[in-house]
Amino acid sequence: MKKHNFSAGPCILPQEVFQEASKAILDFNNSGLSILEISHRSADFVSVMDEAQSLALELLGLKDKGYKALFLQGGASTQFLMVAYNLLEKKAAYLNTGTWSSKAIKEAKLFGEVEEVATSKDKNFNYIPKSYSIPEDIDYFHCTSNNTIFGTQMKEFPATSKPLVCDMSSDIFSREMDFSKFDLIYAGAQKNMGPAGTTLVIIKEDILGKVSREIPSMMSYSTHISKDSMFNTPAVYAVYVSLLTLRWIKAKGGIRAMEELNNKKADLLYSEIDRNPLFEGFAAKEDRSPMNATFNLVDDSYREKFDKLWKYAGVNGLNGHRSVGGYRASMYNALALESVQVVVDCMQKLEK
């Protein structure tokens, strides 16, 4: 039985992508070679990297607008560090909306002064702070668009004259936006884009070159830009599978089509959470994430019964993160509406 995979990341990718990704392990592009054994300098792979970079910019509406797309290793956790290494000369402002923002702040503090403009820590990060001001004497402002663990999402982004940096690991390619208001976007692949092991970085080139410190080669965006993400051997397979997923997004109608389906899935689940007296949502309603829905049983004694129900229905990865408890349904792009219906059915069965 095929599973309904609600895993928070690494997570579900399109079935078509798995099929093609599996074939390429045995024979890539009819080359007689596995994608795992070809040189990253081969024409075949250089064209994979070029297309992936170009398609990422195209889907975000950022082509020919001064941006570069990079595929790097090390995950968003390495970006917490690279952002500060490359951009933080004196002071930066951070919005703290959860675990990942907190980690980003911790790393940045090694490089300069960090002002936390607001935090929702007082309520275990179940909302997005809204009224705060961003100082003018900063090198950049950093925020996290979607909080995988707490199930909140920024619906609006603050206006600032300074570079706007955003960790979009868990909602990139999921909703339409004017991405050109951001100067640096980064995202670990393992949600809406591909397998764990590569990180997409979208960077406006004119924000670079403004810090006085010497930056180690691997930490320098300029190094990676100058070598088109090939300064060192890239994560060949993770980039290839990301390309397959980006092609799938485009073929399905781009980010607009993803957003439409994501909203349907979110509406279906959140309506049931609000209707069903056995459940309650964790995140503040206006800040709910369509990517990660966090919810709890009102009476935890039903846990065993509910767990049995969804596991029997073939649902995977519904347990909440330890910081929140309860349940978390991650509904990334590749998850079908019918999978959400299966969870809703389980919730209704429990009620009966």
**Catalytic positions, written as ranges:** 100, 167, 191
The helices-and-strands tally (H runs, E runs) of the chain is 9, 14
Provide, rounded to whole angstroms, the least separation between the CB of residue 40 and a copy of itself.
Answer: 6
262 near a copy of itself (CB under 8 A): no
Region from 13-21, 49-57, 154-162, 301-309 binding a copy of itself, contact rule CB under 8 A: 13-21
In 3D space, the residue among 58, 92, 95 whose CA is nearest the CA of residue 163 turns out to be 92
Q: Which is nearer to a copy of itself, 203 or 334 (CB)?
A: 334
What's the length of the chain? 352
Provide, rounded to whole angstroms, the least separation between the CB of residue 38 and a copy of itself.
Answer: 6
130 near a copy of itself (CB under 8 A): no
Write the interaction track for a copy of itself spanning residues 46-75; mark x where CB under 8 A is met and - where it is not. Answer: ---------------------------xxx
| CB contact burial 117-150 (16+ within 10 A = b; e otherwise) | bbbbeeeebbbbbeeeebeeebbbbbbbbbbbbb
Region from 179-187, 203-211, 257-265, 310-318 binding a copy of itself, contact rule CB under 8 A: 310-318
241 near a copy of itself (CB under 8 A): yes
Provide, rounded to whole angstroms, the least separation between the CB of residue 144 and a copy of itself.
Answer: 15
Residue corresponding to tokens 């060192």: 232
Site for a copy of itself in 160-219 (CB under 8 A): 188, 190, 194-198, 214, 216-219
DSSP 8-34: SSS----HHHHHHHHHHHH-STTSSS-
Distance CA(167)–CA(186), nearest Å, equals 5
Geometric angle at alpha carbon 143, from 182 and 49, rounded to 5°: 55
Contacts with a copy of itself by CB under 8 A lie at 1-3, 5, 7-13, 18-19, 21-23, 25-26, 31-34, 36-40, 73-78, 80-81, 103, 106-107, 110, 188, 190, 194-198, 214, 216-219, 231-238, 241, 314, 316-317
